[in-house]
Every structure is written in structure tokens, then in C-alpha cells.
Amino acid sequence: MPRSTFYKHRIAFADCDPAQIVFFANYFKWFDTSGFEFFVACGVPPWRDTAQKGGIIGTPLVKATATFVNSATYGEDVVIESWVAEWRTKSFVMRHVARRGDTILAEGEDIRVFAIMDPAQPTRIKAVPIPPAIRALCE
């Protein structure tokens, strides 16, 4: 079983929509935050530090999927578990499970790459192969 980390969030009034439940896109945001905190917990420096040195600016998504199993609302606590399910050459797969207590609220799967600012087009980004040093920290 790969290493996993947990990120907790108290659901805010503003996270919910007129149907009184969490607006679904917030799960994607929380999965992203949980994935970021996974790297930090593994000892990877925050992207702003690596970006300063012309390095990794983040792990942009190639594909994101989520299934929504149970609804949740404000004042409830959601805990996201995140881990790297698969390392490929140029991309990696993260999985996320959002739970309220024992109840699964949503499950996510991301395909992500590591990116740097594109030297050829400074306002665009560019994927690079998985940095071995980062992978080693996360396994």
C-alpha cells in the first residue's frame, strides 16, 4: 500500500450551492489541496520555492475524474485521503477519497504531470519527466 496523507476541511456556507450541498467543483479543489499537502508531507518543497529556481511550478492536471457518492453540507467536516497510485514516465496518477466520518462522499482520480514555465513562451507551462528526487521522497 503506498503512502497516503489526510487533509481535513470544515465545509463552509460558501462551499455550498442553492441546493444546500457542497458545490461539486469544490471537491476538485480539495483534492488538489490534499495532493499538494501530500507532497509537502513527503518533504517536497512548496512549488513557490522550486519555481523561484526555474524549477517545478506545480503538478497540472492532464485529466481529472470524480464520482460523487453522498452529499454533504456546511458545518460538516470532510477528510480527504490522497496517495500516488501509479508513477509513469511523464505522468502520475493520484487518488483521493473524501469521507465524512466513515461515509464516502466522493472519490477522485487525477492524471498529472510535473511542469515548469515554458522558456519559449513565458506565460505558458511545459511538462517535464517525473523528477526522480521528488518520486523518491514520495514512495
Instruction: Tell me which residues touch a copy of itself (CB under 8 A).
Output: 7, 10, 12-14, 16-21, 23-26, 28-29, 32-33, 36-37, 40, 46-49, 51-52, 57-58, 60-68, 71, 73-75, 115, 117, 122-125
Sign of the alpha-carbon torsion through 87, 93, 98, 102: negative
Active site residues: 17
Q: Which is nearer to a copy of itself, 4 or 125 (CB)?
A: 125
Contacts of residue 126, Cβ cutoff 8 Å, sequence gap at least 6:
115, 116, 117, 118, 119, 120
Residue 78 to residues 92, 113, 120, 124, 136, Cα–Cα distance (Å): 25, 26, 41, 34, 29
Measured from the CB atom, is 26 or 82 closer to a copy of itself? 26
Nearer to a copy of itself, 1 or 102 (CB): 102
Residue 59: CB minimum distance to a copy of itself, A: 10
